[in-house]
Amino acid sequence: MRAAEPRRLGAVIVASFMGLAASATGALAELQGNPEDGAVVFQKCKGCHQVGPEAQHRIGPHLNGIFGATAGRHEGFAYSKAMQRASADGLTWDLGTLDAYLENPRALITGTRMSFRGLPDEQDRHDVLAYLRQFSDSPRDIPEAVPSAFAREVDLPPEVLAIVGDRDYGAYLASECLTCHQSDGSDAGIPSITRWPTEDFVVAMHAYKRQIRPHPVMQMMAGRLTDEEIAALAAYFQDLD
């Protein structure tokens, strides 16, 4: 029992720290829907749409592979002029566009033939999207497949921000950089990021975050860092021996 107790306490503390972050960002559960609940929501769609191994076009097109697909491109389905126009404009279905379409179909595509008044409840939309996501390419198998969860602007609570200046936090954040950038400052193929003046580092990272600098890996990495985290990294790498 004595051995078990500290371990359980540790888990509780980890969980409560996660809780801190979650409370400031909105519940983490909202980050993605629940596919099982989504299967129930999908009952509302079933009159017109099929999905799954045997799915066929009915009144509406089947929904296999919809994530990542350009709108209105299924062979053998007669789309409305409005959907064809959206297709020509390059509308691609992902969590964001599908969420908007499901909330109010006519707001996204005026003249769509989908005579559905929409799902006003955000959780319903997230759930049904999580359900449908299972019938498109999995990012596990095809990493370039469209994301399965909404990206969120990480909005760290003051408790976490307060420890940003801490070396432990900088070191943890930096460990992600060190998969590619070498801590000894070698720069073959991938630039060195050690011993940069802090301001240059911060400016460069914000330029990636705002997608002014073009490198896709760095845009992705910087895109999920807050101002405070960028500052912490700059401080960490400036002093790295």
Partner 1 sequence: MTLNRRRFLGATAATLAAPMVQAASHGRARVVVIGGGAGGATAARYIAKDSQGEIDVTLVEPTRMYYTCFFSNLYLGGFRELSSIGHSYGTLAADYGVNVVHDWAVGVDRDARSVSLAGGATLPYDRLILSPGIDFVDGSVPGWDISAQNAMPHAYKAGSQSELLRAQIEAMPEGGTFAMIAPPNPYRCPPGPYERVSMVAHLLKGINPTAKILIVDPKEKFSKQALFEEGWGAHYPGMVERIGPDFGGTNVSVDPMAMTIDIDGAVEQVDVCNVIPAMKAGRICEIAGVTDGNWAPVNPHTMQSRAEENIFVLGDASAQGDMPKSGFSANSQAKVAAMAVRGALTGSKVFPAKYSNTCWSLIDTDDGVKVGAAYEATDEKISSVSSFVSQTGEDAALRKATYEESLGWYAGITSDMFG
CB of 119 to partner 1, least distance (A): 21
Based on the shown chain and the rule CB under 8 A, indicate whether residue 180 belongs to the binding site for partner 1: yes
> Given the rule CB under 8 A, which of 44-52, 72-80, 117-125, 160-168 is the region that contacts partner 1?
160-168
Based on the shown chain and the rule CB under 8 A, indicate whether residue 11 belongs to the binding site for partner 1: yes
Based on the shown chain and the rule CB under 8 A, indicate whether residue 184 belongs to the binding site for partner 1: yes
187-206 residues in contact with partner 1 (CB under 8 A) are 187-190
> Given the rule CB under 8 A, which of 8-16, 39-47, 71-79, 103-111 is the region that contacts partner 1?
8-16
Based on the shown chain and the rule CB under 8 A, indicate whether residue 145 belongs to the binding site for partner 1: yes
From candidates 159, 199, 200, 239, binder to partner 1 by CB under 8 A: 159
Based on the shown chain and the rule CB under 8 A, indicate whether residue 73 belongs to the binding site for partner 1: no
Residues 6+ apart with CB under 8 A from 232: 164, 165, 169, 170, 173
Complex with partner 1: residue 110 or 138, whichever CB lies closer: 138
Based on the shown chain and the rule CB under 8 A, indicate whether residue 117 belongs to the binding site for partner 1: no
> Given the rule CB under 8 A, which of 48-56, 82-90, 171-179, 196-204 is the region that contacts partner 1?
171-179
Q: Is the dihedral of CA 29, 33, 39, 41 positive or negative?
A: positive
What the block records as the tokens of 165 is: 């200046």
Based on the shown chain and the rule CB under 8 A, indicate whether residue 55 belongs to the binding site for partner 1: no
User: Which residues make up the interface to partner 1 (CB under 8 A)?
Assistant: 2-3, 5-7, 9-11, 13-14, 17-18, 21, 28-29, 31-32, 34, 137-152, 159-160, 162-166, 168-169, 171-173, 175-176, 178-184, 186-190, 216-217, 219-221, 223-224
